Amino acid sequence: MGYDLLKGKKGIIFGALDENSIAWKTAERVHEEGGTFVLTNAPIAMRMGQINELAKKTKSEIIPADATSEEDLANLVTKSMEILGGKLDFVLHSIGMSVNVRKGRLYTDEKYDFTTKGWDVSALSFHKVMQSLYKADAMNQWGSIVALTYMAAQRTFPDYNDMADNKAYLESVARSFGYFFGKEKKVRVNTISQSPTPTTAGQGVKGFDGFISYAEKMSPLGNATALDCANYTISLFSDLTKKVTMQNLFHDGGFSNTGVSQEVIERFSD
Ligand SMILES: NC(=O)c1ccc[n+]([C@@H]2O[C@H](COP(=O)([O-])OP(=O)(O)OC[C@H]3O[C@@H](n4cnc5c(N)ncnc54)[C@H](O)[C@@H]3O)[C@@H](O)[C@H]2O)c1
């Protein structure tokens, strides 16, 4: 299925770890739609080697970059423009990691060094990515920058832990940077608030299996898959959404606006 929606467009895709990753599916779909891109991930994630398969399949080059390192990001932006032969039209930030979650620390027992590291990786990195692009004047007019987020930024999901705070910050950065990128470069910046999705990052959250089934039963359209998310992202990279910016866009089968569903009521009825 391809509509040539991204024909001639160039970009950078962060965060494809394995074939379950939302960024992996997005890279496959961007390729099908005629876009060309550089793949990037943290040097440590490269060691697992799976990204090479994706690069081969999508005829892309890989440039390692730690998204918390300004130096790595500056290098990534310069080299990507060299490889792709010009300025960029789209960038996907699909990065998240909480050290507190990984180490099993509860929200009420955060180790703040862990909190700071998780915030840098999951939230501030989005500012760093955009500042690198902005300073290098790397985006074409009407380009599009997308980051992925989760509804725990607005409502409490206890096991989402400090990632909830990181996502709130990330969404705020999208609005704040979106203003400057819009005014000065005619570039749009949005976040997609995605359903729970079975990926490495998703499954790191405690109680994920129960939660994903609950979300499925609460959402009138069912949970959005990683492929659904990739398709939505394509629409935001395309010229069909030029005036959408500074938005947090829920992509969750209706979960965020559902109070309760019939299936959930039945589960609790005697
Ligand atoms: N899976 C879900 O349930 C879900 C729901 C809503 C939003 N999201 C968001 O989607 C995005 C992608 O996650 P995913 O679910 O595809 O999981 P994933 O584990 O496949 O992807 C997370 C990526 O972040 C990368 N990363 C970690 N530290 C990095 C660093 N320092 N520099 C560069 N990259 C780094 C990892 O290598 C990995 O590729 C994240 O922002 C996540 O929070 C996920």
Asked, for residue 237, whether it belongs to a domain, the answer is yes
Asked, for residue 1, whether it belongs to a domain, the answer is no
Asked, for residue 5, whether it belongs to a domain, the answer is no
* Residue identifier of the C-alpha nearest atom 22 of ligand 1: 95
Range of the domain at 232: 10-267
Q: Which of 148, 173, 251 to mutate to test the pocket of ligand 1 (most atoms within 8 A of CB)?
A: 148
Average pLDDT over the chain, rounded to an integer: 96
* Residue identifier of the C-alpha nearest atom 1 of ligand 1: 202
- Closest atom of ligand 1 to 192 CA is 7
Residue pair 126/216 in contact by the 8 Å Cβ criterion: no
CATH of residue 122's domain is: 3.40.50.720
In Å, what is the CA distance from 27 to each residue of 60, 170, 224? 9, 22, 17
Distance CA 255, CA 22 (A): 19
Ligand 1 pocket, Cβ-based, cut-off 6 angstroms:
14-15, 17, 21-23, 41-42, 45, 66-68, 94-97, 121, 148-150, 194, 196-197, 199-202
- Closest atom of ligand 1 to 198 CA is 1
255 C-alpha to ligand 1 centroid (Å): 21
Asked, for residue 206, whether it belongs to a domain, the answer is yes
HSE-up of residue 214 (Cα within 13 Å, Cβ side):
10
Count Cβ neighbours within 10 Å for each residue of 29-67 and write b for 16 or more, e otherwise.
bbbbbebbbbbbbbeebbeeebbeebbeebebeebbbbb
**Confidence at 269, pLDDT banded by 50, 70, 90:** very high
* Residue identifier of the C-alpha nearest atom 42 of ligand 1: 96
Helix runs in 120-251, H state only: 125-135, 163-185, 200-203, 208-218, 226-237
Asked, for residue 4, whether it belongs to a domain, the answer is no
Asked, for residue 170, whether it belongs to a domain, the answer is yes
What are 81-125's pLDDT values in tens digits?
999 999 999 999 999 999 999 999 999 999 999 999 999 999 999
Asked, for residue 89, whether it belongs to a domain, the answer is yes
Q: Which of 46, 199, 212 to mutate to test the pocket of ligand 1 (most atoms within 8 A of CB)?
A: 199
Asked, for residue 2, whether it belongs to a domain, the answer is no
Would the pLDDT of 49 be above 90?
Answer: no
1-5, 179-183, 186-190, 240-244: the lowest-pLDDT one: 1-5
**Confidence at 1, pLDDT banded by 50, 70, 90:** low
Domain count, the chain: 1
Q: Which of 20, 94, 255 to mutate to test the pocket of ligand 1 (most atoms within 8 A of CB)?
A: 94
What are 178-204's pLDDT values in tens digits?
999 999 999 999 999 999 999 988 888
